[in-house]
Amino acid sequence: MSSKSNKLTAFIKTISDLKYDYFEGLALSRQERRALKAFDKYRLEALKSSQGHPLFSQRFLEIRHIEHTLDYREFIK
């Protein structure tokens, strides 16, 4: 991973980061809890709509990518 990537990710907090904090027993803000709930709803709806579709696996991987790279605040707009 390049130092440029490290600098970028140092300024965002992802859904994955929030899940890690939650499972470590750290307190989440109301906004962070709302983002987790919104992401879970998005994830479930996206996977349900592509269930049985030939591209289900690809959709699953896309959602995982979003979980690990997108700032959590994108889910509470």
The per-residue pLDDT for 3 is 44
Q: Tell me which residue range forms the domain holding 10.
A: 3-76
Three-state secondary structure call for residue 14: strand
Summary count for the chain: helices (H), strands (E): 4, 0
Q: What is the overall mean pLDDT for the chain? A: 88
Q: How many domains does the chain have?
A: 1
Rounded CA separation 58/39 (Å): 18
Helix orientation angle between 30-49 and 56-69, rounded to the nearest 10 degrees: 170
Please check the confidence at residue 31 and state whether its pLDDT lies above 80: yes
Which one has a higher pLDDT value, 54 or 37? Answer: 37
pLDDT tens digit sequence for 50-71: 888 888 899 999 999 999 999 9
Please check the confidence at residue 46 and state whether its pLDDT lies above 80: yes
Which tokens is 22 given? 């939650």
